[in-house]
Amino acid sequence: MSDKPRILVTRRHLAEIETRLQSAYEIVLNDDDHIMSADEIIAAADGVQALFICVTEPLNAETIAALPDSVEAILTLSVGTDHIDLAAAEIRGLAVLTTPGAVTAATAEIGMLLMLGAARRAHESSQYLRAGNWDLWTPTQFVGVEITGKPLGIFGMGRIGRTVAQRARGFDMAVHYRNRNRLAPDLEEGAVYFNDLEGFLGASAFLMLCAPSTPETKGFINADTIAQLPDGAIIVNIARGDLVEDDALIAALESGKVAAAGLDVFNGEPANVDRRYFDLPNVFMVPHIGSAARDARTGMGMMLLDGFEALRAGEAVSNRVV
């Protein structure tokens, strides 16, 4: 029997992460990368010290309670913990480690991509070209909106929101934000804080959602908040799907009240995304790829393993949430 700690790895990862896992640990690997059921995870976790999971493996209270006594930690390749019952983990005495910071730059890049793609009608024009329809140029063809110099409202000014603001300043955008609390001036970097929601929305020709999903933020985009936006506003969501009420956003996209949307996250993802979005030419969307960059994904895995090693050494773990 090896003296190395044992880790159950529920999904396949980039080579850099798997190489470190194989060299430093005894691993139980899900070779064919199927989505493991709760019963499979419980059975495979016998004798392991940690679970290395993704958002595809929800761990509810019942599953956590049934985990073998050997399990000490849950390492999740995500910033969010919606898929883990944190209270149950705390009751069991399990440490839960996440990946804050590792995804910041990559997710902010996707936010800028979506904002540009939505504003400049990237989906429509790309589909038109791929369909072989481009046989004539006209001065009015696929005319979009420049983002340069325009006002950008950021809802949620954490790490990702602040990084989006930095990138947006490269386009001379005028950044304002709404947050639970006003930031210190050095973190604001000139961004204007709005305490009142109406004023924030009214100033947001571009609106980017960067806030976590909480009882207070769920359904933030609804008929009432959309009505307070300028006509022809553009909405980008790189936060969580449940910040948006789909019926309200789709109606606004169809009417033109919202000119376009850039979406990386959805209610019901991945299998039950509202299919009405697929038929809207003014929606530029990608399948939750905010952290899907090699640097980010490698950094996420390394952060989890660094944290686990610190945990076992009795050291402080900066990315521990439980």
Q: Which residues are catalytic?
A: 240, 269, 288
C-alpha 164/C-alpha 206 separation (Å) is 12
Helices of type H across 196-293: 197-202, 223-227, 246-255
Q: Using CA atoms, how far apart are residues 18 and 31, in angstroms rounded to an integer?
A: 11
**28-60: b or e for each residue (b if 16 or more CB lie within 10 Å)?**
bbbeeeeebebeebbebbeebbbbbbebebebe
Strands 258-263 and 283-285 come out as parallel
Alpha helix segments (H runs only) across the chain: 15-24, 38-44, 61-66, 86-92, 104-119, 122-130, 159-169, 185-188, 197-202, 223-227, 246-255, 294-312
DSSP class of 204: -
The length of the chain is 322
For the packed helices 294-312 and 15-24, what is the interaxial angle rounded to 10 degrees? Answer: 20
